[in-house]
Amino acid sequence: MLYGLSIVAFAALFAIYKFLPNKKIFPYLCVALLMVFAVSSFIQNRHSREVMTRAQIEELQYRQKIFGDWYAEYQKDINQLDRNWQRYYSIVDTLKTAEVYEYTIYEQLIDLERETIDEKRKIYALTVPADLDEESRELLTRVIRKTKAYADAQAKTISLTRQAANPEIVTDLNVMNKRINEITIRESPAGLFTATEIFAIRDILGDKD
């Protein structure tokens, strides 16, 4: 639109100059027309920016809700992974201080292993919301990949511990604790660090909460 107005303005200036009796006032007319053109351009550009800003805000709010809903469910899974570890170390500590092996400890490990496998399935069912922007999707893909690796290591550690605590295989409590300690050191995941990706997504979405 501004390009068309520019053509019309130059054509008008040419016509004015050609038919203007007093050519001395022509520069003043040019300045006046340029000021009108500048003001019109400013108003139009401002209006365009306001329209774009409203559209962007609505889009960001929509994406913020999508990510917020996803993250709320994801956090439930992370909390369950944390509870699994708390239970695991509680059971292991009980074994370390036990004077006599009790079969209920083994039953607790069986129950924990089952819950860990169930949670691992939930982690593997995580998907990236399609309506997020490309950069946010890539970051969430990394979050899910890290979480899967963490859930894998947790499940493996607990399963191997359950096997090592089987009283039908190992009856010596000291030997059992030594094996479990080795498993815990060797197989436990280092940690689940996704703060960098989560903060980056929130920054992209303009969500500082």
Q: What is the pLDDT of residue 206?
A: 82
Strand (E) or helix (H) holding 17 = helix 2-19
pLDDT at 84 over 90: yes
pLDDT tens for each residue of 125-178: 999 999 999 999 999 999 999 999 999 999 999 999 999 999 888 888 899 999
pLDDT attached to residue 61: 87
- pLDDT given for residue 49 in this prediction: 45
Using the predicted structure, report yes or no on whether residue 201 has a pLDDT greater than 70.
yes
pLDDT of 108 > 70? The answer is yes
Task: At 10, list the tokens.
Answer: 């130059």
Asked which of 2-6, 131-135, 201-205 is least confident by mean pLDDT, the reply is 2-6
In whole angstroms, give the CA distance from residue 128 to residue 59.
18
Asked if residue 16 lies in contact with residue 29, where contact means CB atoms within 8 angstroms, the answer is yes
Mean per-residue pLDDT over the chain, rounded: 83
Residues 130, 187 contacting (CB under 8 angstroms): no
Residue 57: per-residue pLDDT: 79
Cβ atoms of 4 and 28 closer than 8 Å? no
CA dist 18 and 108 (Å) reads 99
pLDDT of residue 48: 46
Q: Domain spans of the chain? A: 2-51, 61-204
What was the pLDDT predicted at 2?
Answer: 44
Q: How confident is the model at residue 4 (pLDDT cuts 50, 70, 90)?
A: very low
Spatial separation of the C-alpha atoms in residues 188 and 156, rounded to whole Å:
8
SS3 state at 130: coil
* pTM score of the predicted model: 0.73
Question: What burial class does residue 67 get, using C-beta atoms within 10 Å of its C-beta: 0-12 exposed, 13-18 middle, 19+ buried?
Answer: buried
pLDDT at 1 over 60: no
